[in-house]
């Protein structure tokens, strides 16, 4: 395929603080947690609580976690997303696609505004927004769409655009995920699929995120040929006091030995890039929980990150949008 028109691709993720410091994390969390898509409590009640109690304590605590995983290229999320950007740019160029791939974060930097401005300034003929969220949720994909729309608010000439809503059952995604698991999973390991949670209330209001997670899990399980007693599905990273989607990952791992599960491998299919929630929460904190409560071996299976199969999956979805 040879294309003369210039295509703009926005590879988008949630976001990351600019530095592993309490002040930088506080700024990032403020932007993140004031988004009504994420926390929809009444502003008059939520914002004072967030500013006076949550941010001061949480920023200091999280700073220590970020400092432990920070790299010379910045946070792992930004460093790996940059690898994805370069690999995807090369993939499209090799197929004679005149494309400009930009990174954007819903919160923090590089911002969605900077990505959109760069593409509009270069007069791309079409923009393809690629949220790195295989499973749709209003808290992630929905919030990212809002950021994209807001970034175009003052643009007189809005280019045609495509927004990839979800790809939780895309064949190339399932194949890449299944293969990544297959080469790492040991025969005697229980496979746990852990997804980022959302408040149960959001599901009751119509967010079908859990259904997407289930469908991804079943597709991968079928591809791997696992039996019912060889795998499970849980939800992690809950925040606050209200009920979130269950079962909870941390509680499952603490009690797993009581169910006869002594060897476990954990994969997080909803994370396209390894970040604080996978590196610190899953690979460190929950590893400790499992091993200190009767577990014998624990393996974290990394996100697809910049693996070639992952880049090819992204390229395939983008090429579909160009047909």
Residues 6+ apart with CB under 8 A from 197: 235, 236, 237, 238, 244, 245, 248
Spatial strand order in the sheet of 231-236: 231-236, 190-196, 263-267, 297-301
CATH architecture of 171-301: 3-Layer(aba) Sandwich (3.40)
Per-residue pLDDT of the chain (323 residues; tens, 9 = 90+): 556 799 999 999 999 999 999 999 999 999 999 999 999 999 999 999 999 999 999 999 999 999 999 999 999 999 999 999 999 999 999 999 999 999 999 999 999 999 999 999 999 999 999 999 999 999 999 999 999 999 999 999 999 999 999 999 999 999 999 999 999 999 999 999 999 999 999 999 999 999 999 999 999 999 999 999 999 999 999 988 899 999 999 999 999 999 999 999 999 999 999 999 999 999 999 999 999 999 999 999 999 999 999 999 999 999 999 98
Give the 3-state secondary structure percentages of the chain, helix then strand then coil, rounded to 5: 50, 20, 30
- Taking only the tens place, the pLDDT of each residue in 53-95 is 999 999 999 999 999 999 999 999 999 999 999 999 999 999 9
User: What Å distances lie between residue 144 and 37, 111, 280, CA to CA?
Assistant: 10, 11, 24
Q: Does 196 count as an annotated binding residue?
A: yes
Task: Give DSSP secondary structure letters for 212-256.
Answer: HHHHHHHHHHHHHT--GGGEEEEEE---SSS-BSSSBHHHHHHHG
- Taking only the tens place, the pLDDT of each residue in 274-287 is 999 999 999 999 99
Backbone angles phi, psi at 289, to 5 degrees: -60, -45
Q: Which of 108, 89, 94, 82 is nearest to 25 (CA)?
A: 108
- Residue pair 131/144 in contact by the 8 Å Cβ criterion: yes
């Amino acid at each position: 395929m040879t294309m003369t028109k210039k295509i703009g691709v926005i590879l988008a993720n949630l976001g990351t603080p600019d530095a592993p410091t309490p002040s930088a994390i506080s700024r990032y969390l403020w932007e993140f947690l004031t988004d009504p898509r994420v926390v929809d409590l009444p502003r008059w009640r939520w914002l004072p609580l967030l500013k006076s109690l949550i941010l001061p304590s949480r920023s200091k605590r999280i700073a220590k976690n970020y400092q432990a995983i920070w790299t010379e290229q910045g946070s792992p999320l930004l460093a790996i997303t940059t690898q994805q950007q370069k690999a995807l740019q090369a993939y499209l160029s090799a197929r004679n696609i005149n494309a400009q791939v930009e990174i954007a974060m819903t919160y923090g930097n590089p911002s969605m505004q900077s990505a959109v401005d760069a593409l509009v300034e270069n007069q791309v003929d079409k923009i393809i927004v690629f949220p790195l969220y295989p499973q749709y949720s209003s808290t992630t994909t929905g919030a990212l769409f809002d950021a994209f729309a807001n970034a175009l608010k003052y643009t007189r000439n809005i280019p045609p655009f495509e927004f990839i809503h979800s790809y939780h059952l895309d064949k190339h995604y399932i194949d890449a995920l299944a293969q990544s698991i297959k080469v790492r999973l040991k025969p005697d390991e229980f496979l746990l699929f852990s997804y980022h949670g959302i408040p149960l209330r959001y599901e009751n209001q119509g967010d079908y995120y859990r259904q997407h997670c289930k469908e991804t899990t079943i597709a991968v399980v079928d591809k791997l040929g696992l039996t019912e007693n060889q795998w499970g599905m849980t939800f992690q990273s809950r925040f606050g006091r209200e009920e979130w989607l269950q079962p909870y990952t941390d509680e499952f791992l603490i009690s797993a030995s009581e169910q006869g599960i002594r060897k476990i491998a954990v994969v997080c299919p909803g994370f396209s890039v390894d970040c604080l929630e996978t590196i610190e929460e899953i690979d460190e904190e929950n590893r400790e929980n499992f091993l200190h409560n009767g577990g014998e071996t624990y393996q974290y299976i990394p996100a697809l990150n910049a693996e070639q199969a992952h880049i090819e999956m992204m390229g395939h979805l983008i090429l579909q949008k160009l047909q």
